[in-house]
Amino acid sequence: MLRGQGIYWLGRLVTVQALRHTHPTGGWRLRAHRALSGQGAQRGVELVRRWGLVAVPVAYLTVGLQSMVMAGAGILHVPWPRFTVAQLPGALAWATIYSTVGFAVWNAALAAAAGSPVGIAVLVVLAAAVVAAVVLHRRRHR
């Protein structure tokens, strides 16, 4: 809930002001400026425009859309009380899934790793694959 509110307010206050009043030429400021004006933020804006506030709770059930939709709602200046009411069912659903299924999978992985060298090897390979995917993704976008 706090993360969604934070991203909403970043979109509402910081994004609009940063894009209007700054023109960075390098470093982290330029990267942040590009991210705020990039396709992710625009996709969030488009989703909120197309689906309205229904996009907010539905975004909690997806991977990778939450931040875009929350920022999009902020950029569009969706009234805060409406955003918060729309956010509640999604945040509750996400918390339920995370605290039940998510922890069950995590505990199963730890149990396999603690009792089995093969489990440890599988977890190491999975972690290396995730790190490699993130590094390759970042290099392609640069």
CB under 8 A, 24+ apart: contacts of 45-52: 45/72, 45/75, 45/76, 46/72, 47/72, 48/72, 48/73, 48/76, 48/78, 49/76
What's the angle, vertex CA 92, arms to CA 89 and CA 96, rounded to 5? 140
Alpha-carbon distances, residue 73 vs 8, 19, 20 (angstroms): 6, 16, 18
Euclidean distance between CA atoms 57 and 110, whole angstroms: 31
CB atoms within 10 A of CB 12: 20
Contact call for residues 37 and 21 (beta carbons, < 8 A): no
Q: In the chain, what are the domain boundaries?
A: 2-100
Task: Walk along the chain (142 residues) and give the pLDDT tens digit of each residue.
Answer: 999 999 899 888 877 667 777 777 888 777 777 777 777 778 888 999 999 999 999 998 887 788 889 989 998 999 999 999 999 999 998 888 878 877 766 666 776 767 766 666 677 777 888 899 889 988 888 8
Which residues fall within 8 angstroms of residue 65, CB to CB, at 6 or more apart?
44, 47, 59
Instruction: For 93-111, write each residue's pLDDT tens digit.
Output: 888 887 887 776 666 677 6
Written as six digits, the tokens of 117 are 């060298």
